[in-house]
């Protein structure tokens, strides 16, 4: 099946601030114990997940919005997740689904993606697999033996959806004390071995499960970002394959610019608050629903209520006094001084600041151009990295990536 990707919500510049992104923590259960998890304390409360009927009411009252971001716990542990996604597609006409997973349940991921593509044909699905390093490094950071299962899931997704432009394949890596020394090698290896659209790296955020895993400084994060900058030109080229010259040029400009702008903002706010150069629109264009019904304006701000107290009515929640006070307290970021490092909120806010967005993209593209250098991901280099980090070649061959 060859299909072209339909217009993403990131392709439109918005000025009217209304609900555009719903962040749904699908479950409080997880089959990993990640050292850097910022949601571990919330999951430890072991409250019941929102029921399907409660989520149904939320969907029926939300109106149209563009993006549904899943989170957890581990989304694949929610048995009725496909029905939930189909419901939001029907009721709310979502155009983009962001689906993160640790990749442990690979067959389920592939089966659910097939179902989503069949029943939500006009929606783009960004499937993001967590891979934090080579072999034992990944397993240590994730608290469960899962490196080869996650790698196999990525390969299965590519085998089944390589020609489907509506399925966007990503790798997500969180930098901690466990993987910081190998991150540059891992970015190179991941680009060479997996056919993905992008590889995001980020610093651990919030209150982590394990103390002492945060090791990055603004300086060290910027150094890593500068080192991996050329890969984003390569990813832009990969995404633009098959497009005409104009399409390739625009893809490169927006993709490279957005990635670099996001990374710059993250680094500048890692150790201290630093203005984004644009408004944060948390609470105006975003709503976070915790697995147990609490709601927030942003993942990194405290809950301000529970949906059950509002009859699971999203319009009532967004227009509530609690949300109005929250928006006032945030003051587009300026009052709250909460200049977070959260890429989802940076990306969600950036399209609502079109003038500043354009200047940021131009600046970011110039920076990347200066940082570009030849990249060698030839087979001898990749095999050398596999030997260096003692990956099991027979396992990689069985998966089909070596």
pLDDT confidence bin for 340, thresholds 50/70/90? confident
Q: Would you say 95 and 7 are in contact if contact means Cβ atoms under 8 Å apart?
A: yes
Give the dihedral of Cα atoms 324, 328, 329, 331; nearest 10 deg: 140
CATH of the domain at 322: 3.20.20.70
Structural domains in the chain (count): 1
Q: Check residue 339 and give its pLDDT.
A: 65
- The per-residue pLDDT for 338 is 65
Task: Classify residue 350: in a domain, yes or no.
Answer: yes
Residue 6 lies in a domain: no
Q: Is residue 204 assigned to a domain? A: yes
Q: Does residue 15 have a pLDDT over 70?
A: no
pTM: 0.93
Q: Is 2 among the domain residues?
A: no
Residue 8 has pLDDT above 70, yes or no: no
pLDDT of residue 347: 78
CA distance 394 to 310: 55
Share of the chain above pLDDT 70, in %: 96
Domain-located, residue 9: no
Residue 238 lies in a domain: yes
Residue 165 lies in a domain: yes
pLDDT over threshold 70, residue 3? no
Q: pLDDT, tens digit, for every residue of 317-335?
A: 999 999 999 999 989 888 8
pLDDT (0 to 100) of residue 334: 81
Instruction: Indicate whether 136 pLDDT > 90.
Output: yes
For residue 345, give its domain range.
Answer: 18-399
**Average pLDDT value for residue range 6-19:** 58
At 22, phi and psi to the nearest 5?
Answer: -110, 125
**Residue 342 clears pLDDT 80, i.e. is over it:** no
Inter-residue contact 221 to 203 (CB < 8 Å): yes
Output b/e per residue, 117-142; b: 16+ Cβ within 10 A: beebeebbbbbbbbbbbbbebbbbbb
């Amino acid at each position: 099946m060859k299909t072209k990707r339909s217009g993403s919500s990131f392709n439109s510049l918005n000025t009217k601030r209304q609900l555009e992104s719903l962040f749904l923590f699908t479950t409080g259960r997880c089959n990993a114990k990640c050292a850097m998890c910022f949601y571990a304390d919330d999951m430890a409360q072991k409250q019941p997940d929102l029921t399907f009927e409660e989520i149904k009411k939320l969907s029926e009252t939300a109106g149209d919005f563009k993006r549904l971001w899943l989170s957890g716990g581990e989304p694949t542990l929610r048995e009725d997740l496909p029905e939930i996604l189909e419901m939001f597609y029907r009721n709310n006409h979502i155009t983009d689904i962001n689906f993160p997973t640790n990749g442990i349940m690979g067959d389920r991921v592939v089966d659910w993606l097939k179902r989503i593509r069949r029943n939500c044909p006009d929606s783009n699905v960004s499937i993001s697999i967590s891979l934090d390093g080579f072999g034992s490094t990944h397993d240590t950071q994730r608290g469960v033996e899962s490196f080869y299962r996650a790698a196999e899931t990525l390969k299965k997704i590519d085998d089944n959806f390589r020609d489907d432009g509506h399925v966007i394949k990503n790798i997500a890596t969180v930098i901690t004390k466990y993987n910081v020394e190998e991150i540059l090698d891992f970015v190179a290896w991941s680009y060479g071995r997996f056919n993905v659209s992008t590889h995001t790296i980020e610093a651990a955020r919030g209150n982590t499960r394990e103390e002492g895993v945060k090791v990055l400084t603004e300086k060290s994060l910027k150094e890593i970002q500068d080192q991996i900058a050329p890969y984003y030109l390569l990813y832009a080229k990969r995404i633009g394959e098959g497009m005409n010259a104009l399409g390739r040029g625009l893809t490169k400009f927006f993709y490279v610019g957005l990635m670099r702008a996001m990374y710059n903002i993250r680094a500048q706010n890692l150790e201290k608050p630093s203005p984004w150069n644009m408004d944060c629109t948390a609470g105006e264009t975003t709503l976070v629903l915790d697995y147990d019904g609490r709601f927030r304006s942003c993942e990194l701000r405290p809950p301000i209520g529970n949906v059950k107290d509002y009859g699971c009515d999203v319009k009532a929640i967004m227009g509530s006094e609690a949300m109005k006070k929250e928006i006032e307290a945030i003051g587009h970021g300026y009052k709250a001084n909460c200049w977070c490092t959260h890429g989802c909120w940076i990306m969600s806010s950036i399209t609502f600041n079109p003038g500043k967005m354009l200047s940021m993209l131009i600046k970011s593209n110039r920076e990347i151009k200066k940082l570009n250098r030849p990249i060698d991901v030839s087979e001898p280099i990749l095999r050398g990295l596999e030997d260096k980090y003692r990956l099991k070649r027979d396992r990689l061959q069985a998966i089909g990536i070596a």
